[in-house]
Amino acid sequence: MIKKAYAAMTALCCLLFASGSYADQPMPWQATLQPAATPIMRSIHWFEQYTLWFIVPITLFVLVLLIVVCFKFRASANPVPSKTSHNTLIEIVWTVGPVLVLLFLAIPSFTLLTDQLTLPENPDVTIKATATQWQWNYEYEGTGENQLAFDSFLLKDQDRAAAGKEDRAVYPRLLTVDNELVLPVNKTVRVLVTAAPTDVIHAFAMPSFGIKIDAVPGRLNETWFKAEREGLFYGQCSELCGKDHAFMPIAIRVVSEDKYKQWLTTAAADLPGAYKALMAATDGPAKTVDVADNVAK
Ligand SMILES: [Cu+2]
């Protein structure tokens, strides 16, 4: 029931956001999680709300107890304190109560963790993200001429015009990159994450997808996601990695499978050209309609 209501709210949020020129990114004064774009993130939204049903009443209950004790048992009102040291009933209640609460939290929590960490058997696309101080390198699965790999840097202000990324609502400061990761919608994507051999630890994180995983030199971590709507999604390196840690954003452009395939074929030979063609096809009014359609389905 709560899950359904929450899914409806999330869908409504997506519709509202889809009506303007908007990419999935942090908003000013945002206090909640970003709208979900994957089933895992939807579960995280649900789990957050579910946990609050325990946290809020318990916090209020403890607060009330403290206030009652402060007034009822203060020295002036209660000069001779009770010397009771044991009460079997109370001890059973305060042991069994927390055990039950922890069980109710642990079971959905471990289920969610297992879903997050269990890689789907046959991913549709595999990519590798390698972090270096301070940029990301993305490699697409493939060999020979189809091999595609490129660096993704924070886009400098002076390069915005040339890249066609002057609309700061869609291409925000400190989150916009020169080369986005382009991936198909409704497909399972496996992400291999590591850092360059002599580098430091970074982390690959995409809030709307509910993924965050360390990029460790000499070690290959795996995660996965299935984006359910098209759009431009922003994340950041999430492990303090040095002076430019705040300047190595992650941008993922989720597009239809056709557009993805077109981009992939062109990108190996002409990366800037492939982005230009893709942006012409996805940015502007066309994108707004696409996203709204997706949510409606
Ligand atoms: Cu980093």
Q: What is the pLDDT of residues 28-63, one digit of tens each?
A: 898 999 999 999 999 999 999 999 999 999 999 999
Domain boundaries, the chain: 39-71+91-117, 125-296
Contacts of 149 (CB under 8 A, 6+ apart): 137, 138, 139, 140
Mean pLDDT of the chain: 87
Ligand 1 centre and the CA of 239: distance in Å? 6
Contacts of 66 (CB under 8 A, 6+ apart): none
Ligand 1 centre and the CA of 113: distance in Å? 24
Ligand 1 centre and the CA of 270: distance in Å? 28
3-class SS at 290? helix
Residue 146 has pLDDT above 70, yes or no: no
Hey, which residues does 136 pair with through a beta bridge?
131, 152
Pairwise pLDDT comparison (199 vs 294), residue with the higher score: 199
Note the pLDDT of residue 26: 87
Nearest C-alpha neighbor of 230 from the set 275, 274, 281:
281
Ligand 1 centre and the CA of 49: distance in Å? 30
Ligand 1 centre and the CA of 195: distance in Å? 9
Residue 14 has pLDDT above 80, yes or no: no
Ligand 1 centre and the CA of 255: distance in Å? 26
Ligand 1 centre and the CA of 131: distance in Å? 7
Residue 65 has pLDDT above 90, yes or no: yes
Which contiguous run of DSSP H or E holds residue 255? strand 249-255
**How confident is residue 201, by pLDDT bands cut at 50, 70 and 90?**
very high
Q: Nearest 5 degrees, angle CA 43-CA 210-CA 9?
A: 50
- Give the mean pLDDT of 89-97: 95
Is the Cβ–Cβ distance between 189 and 125 less than 8 Å? yes
Ligand 1 centre and the CA of 240: distance in Å? 6
Note the pLDDT of residue 141: 87
Ligand 1 centre and the CA of 236: distance in Å? 8
> Cα separation of 47 and 176, whole Å?
30
Ligand 1 centre and the CA of 249: distance in Å? 9
Ligand 1 centre and the CA of 108: distance in Å? 31
Which contiguous run of DSSP H or E holds residue 281? helix 271-282
Note the pLDDT of residue 283: 75
Q: What percent of the chain has pLDDT over 70?
A: 87
Residue 252 has pLDDT above 50, yes or no: yes
Cα–Cα distances in Å, from 190 out to 125, 126, 141, 221, 226?
6, 5, 10, 11, 9
Q: How far from chain centre, in Å, is Cα 116? A: 12
Nearest C-alpha neighbor of 195 from the set 117, 243, 135:
135
Note the pLDDT of residue 18: 45
Ligand 1 centre and the CA of 193: distance in Å? 12
Note the pLDDT of residue 145: 64
Residue 197 has pLDDT above 90, yes or no: yes
Ligand 1 centre and the CA of 285: distance in Å? 34
Ligand 1 centre and the CA of 138: distance in Å? 14
The CATH class of 125-296 is: mainly beta
**How confident is residue 203, by pLDDT bands cut at 50, 70 and 90?**
very high
How many C-beta atoms surround the C-beta of residue 263 within 10 A?
22
Ligand 1 centre and the CA of 212: distance in Å? 12
Note the pLDDT of residue 142: 74
3-class SS at 225? strand
- Give the mean pLDDT of 206-213: 96
Q: What percent of the chain has pLDDT over 90?
A: 72
Note the pLDDT of residue 21: 53
Ligand 1 centre and the CA of 244: distance in Å? 8
Ligand 1 centre and the CA of 251: distance in Å? 14
Ligand 1 centre and the CA of 201: distance in Å? 7
Note the pLDDT of residue 15: 46
